[in-house]
Amino acid sequence: MMRRQPAGRRVASTTALVAVGAAVATAGWVGGGRWAAAALFAVFVVAAIAAFVWSGRSDHDLAALFGGVGDERQRALDSRATAVAGLAMGGFCVVMALVAIARGAENPWVLVVLVGAVAYASALMVLRARG
């Protein structure tokens, strides 16, 4: 049975997606790529609209992400997908930090790796304390 979900969190999530698109487009505009910036913003808006419409159906996993609803299986999928994405980004940053060290170049990657390590350790302590 398909039913519509309340729009509150869906609107907030969609608005956040459009805001990220606006930030990316603004950076591109400032960088001189005016047409590319406009095209990127249009892609973000279309994606946000599609996500809003699609997430309104209770029988889709996207509803759990954008709609703030979802069963235990959907929340577990979201948690695992977030963990995989975090591991991929963390691994990439570690590799890039090592490459920058080997090249003797400026190394902003070390700061990114440090932020990730502190966030992980902090989350581990908080979650352990909560039980």
Between residues 64 and 130, the one the model is more confident about: 130
Q: How many CB atoms lie within 10 A of CB 5?
A: 19
pLDDT band at 2 (very low <50, low <70, confident <90, very high): very low
Whole-number pLDDT of residue 117 = 93
pLDDT of 84 above 70: yes
Provide the CB-side half-sphere exposure for 51 (13 A, CA). 21
pLDDT band at 62 (very low <50, low <70, confident <90, very high): low
* CA angle 80–66–92, rounded 5-degree value: 40
The token duo for 114 is 């440090």
pLDDT band at 111 (very low <50, low <70, confident <90, very high): very high
Q: What is the mean pLDDT of residues 91-102?
A: 94
Query: What contacts 47, CB < 8 A, 6 or more positions away?
Result: 17, 21
The token duo for 46 is 């279309």
